């Protein structure tokens, strides 16, 4: 959408306020999305209507205002704050003589910019193709140079059908490839579960500081920018808790208000990292006036992913920018932190440890000198706090995996 002259692309935002959601807040978010994609939101137009016009999205009078505004302000692109039908998109373009995209197309464009991994690129391409397919309908005339007569198919219709077949074949091929990637991802999850690896998923509204938190806790080196969807691909890193216990910390794709269902479907395998996690960190920007709404957005998606039984810690980030601690509709426990300067992260690690299912216990053991492999096993899967050599063996104070206790019960003190 914004390939050429990204910085100079002049955009007009349009929205219809039917009372279903806060149109003012939604169009402000749309403006940020346009900025993220490289455009400049020059004008914003909101029309209050009982329902959306099925032909032109906005009312018949407002569409003429739209045409005039585009002409007077050198508008290059119109972005609608809803999903448009093929007919609506075509009609607005015909009347205003300006390119038109909708909210979903814009988010897909940003996703295409941000995807780095093979899986991320495939997911974006699949979502784009599925979304664009209906928009080919009715464009047979445009696709033909000669046109078709009455009662004949004509080359235009043939070109349209050819394009549709090509897109459907491509969709099928992408689905097959993603299916194989998803199988590998599921196998990795199963192996982690079998090996007793505990996973903690970071979820939250985009630009809340998830990547900064990931870097702060694990030195992951993940890109962290003050932009929506700065990172798209999931990242997994080992995190060591205060007791010495290790867990897998997994970053996931950021969320936005009214995230199109098609995108949730496209990124389901990525988002399912949250569904299969032992613990979820719901990161939110505490300095944002819309913090409570962002928490609600995440809570709704977690419910959609069937994560209701998974424990959640609400991580209120950027607390250094908040003058006073205030009440928020948090899910589960909450911790105030600043991922940028590390404030509150020590408490966060302690709360993570308290909340995770108990898999280790602290014990004292006397291990014979010829059973050194036991100490190595304990160290690999837990932590050794102290070690002392005695006449009868090595005396250790350690955090031991509960499943390992049966094998070493004769060495317990």
State pLDDT tens for residues 91-117. Answer: 999 999 999 999 888 888 877 777 777
Residue 152: pLDDT band with limits 50, 70, 90: very low
Give the model's pLDDT for residue 54.
93
Give the model's pLDDT for residue 231.
52
Cβ of 219: how many Cβ atoms within 10 Å?
A: 9
Beta strands across the sheet bearing 360-367: 360-367, 393-401, 383-390
**Structure tokens given for 158:** 């043939």
194: enclosing H helix or E strand: helix 154-194
Task: Give the distance, in angstroms, between the CA of residue 65 and the centroid of all CA atoms in the same chain.
Answer: 36
- Least confident segment among 122-131, 265-274, 295-304, 392-401: 265-274
Asked whether the predicted pLDDT for residue 19 surpasses 80, the reply is yes
Q: Where are the domains of the chain?
A: 6-112, 115-182, 197-355, 360-411
Who wins on pLDDT, 226 or 400? Answer: 400
Return d(Cα 90, Cα 150) in angstroms, integer.
23
Mean pLDDT over the full length of the chain: 79
Give the model's pLDDT for residue 229.
54
Asked whether the predicted pLDDT for residue 378 surpasses 80, the reply is yes
- Least confident segment among 140-144, 211-215, 273-277, 371-375: 140-144
Architecture of the domain spanning 197-355: 3-Layer(aba) Sandwich (3.40)
State pLDDT tens for residues 41-54. Answer: 999 999 999 999 99
Are 29 and 98 a contacting pair, CB within 8 Å? no
Fold designation for 6-112: Rossmann fold (3.40.50)
CATH topology of 6-112 equal to that of 197-355? yes
Residue 144: pLDDT band with limits 50, 70, 90: very low
- From 269, 112, 127, select the one nearest 188 (Cα to Cα): 269
- Average pLDDT score over residue span 384-394: 87
Give the model's pLDDT for residue 328.
57
Express as a percent the part of the chain with pLDDT over 70: 80
Asked whether the predicted pLDDT for residue 149 surpasses 50, the reply is no
């Amino acid at each position: 959408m914004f390939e050429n002259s990204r910085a100079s692309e002049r955009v007009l935002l349009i929205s219809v306020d039917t009372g279903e959601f806060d149109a003012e807040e939604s169009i402000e978010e749309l403006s940020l999305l346009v900025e993220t994609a490289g455009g400049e939101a020059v004008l914003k137009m909101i029309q209050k209507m009982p329902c959306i016009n099925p032909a032109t999205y906005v009312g018949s009078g407002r569409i003429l205002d739209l045409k005039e505004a585009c002409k007077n302000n050198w508008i290059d692109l119109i972005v609608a704050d809803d999903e448009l039908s093929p007919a609506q998109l075509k009609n607005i373009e015909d009347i205003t003589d300006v390119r038109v995209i909708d909210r979903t197309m814009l988010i897909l464009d940003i996703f295409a910019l941000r995807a780095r991994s093979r899986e991320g690129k495939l997911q974006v391409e699949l979502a784009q193709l599925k979304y664009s397919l209906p928009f080919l309908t009715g464009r047979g005339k445009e696709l033909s140079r000669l046109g078709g007569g009455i009662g004949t198919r004509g080359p235009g219709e043939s070109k349209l059908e050819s394009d549709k077949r090509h897109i459907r074949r491509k969709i099928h091929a992408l689905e097959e490839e993603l299916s194989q990637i998803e199988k590998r991802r599921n196998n990795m999850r199963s192996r982690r579960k079998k090996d007793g690896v505990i996973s903690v998923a970071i979820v939250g509204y985009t630009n809340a500081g998830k990547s900064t938190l990931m870097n702060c806790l694990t030195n992951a080196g993940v890109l962290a920018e003050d932009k929506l969807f700065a990172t798209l691909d999931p990242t997994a890193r080992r995190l060591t808790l205060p007791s010495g216990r290790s867990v897998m910390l997994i970053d996931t794709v950021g969320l936005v208000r009214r995230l199109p269902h098609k995108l949730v479907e496209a990124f389901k395998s990525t988002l399912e990292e949250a569904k299969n996690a032992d613990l979820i960190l719901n990161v939110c920007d505490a300095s944002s006036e819309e913090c409570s709404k962002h928490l609600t957005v995440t809570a709704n998606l977690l419910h959609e992913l069937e994560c209701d039984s998974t424990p959640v810690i609400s991580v209120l980030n950027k607390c250094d920018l908040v003058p006073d601690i205030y009440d928020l509709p948090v899910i589960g426990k909450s911790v105030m932190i600043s991922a940028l300067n590390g404030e509150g992260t020590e408490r966060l690690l302690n709360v993570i440890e308290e909340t995770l299912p108990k898999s280790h216990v602290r014990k004292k053991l006397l291990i014979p000198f010829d059973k050194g492999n036991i100490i190595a096993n304990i160290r690999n899967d837990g932590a050794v706090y102290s070690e002392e050599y005695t006449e009868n063996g090595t005396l250790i104070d350690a955090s031991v995996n509960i499943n390992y206790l049966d094998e070493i019960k004769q060495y317990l003190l």
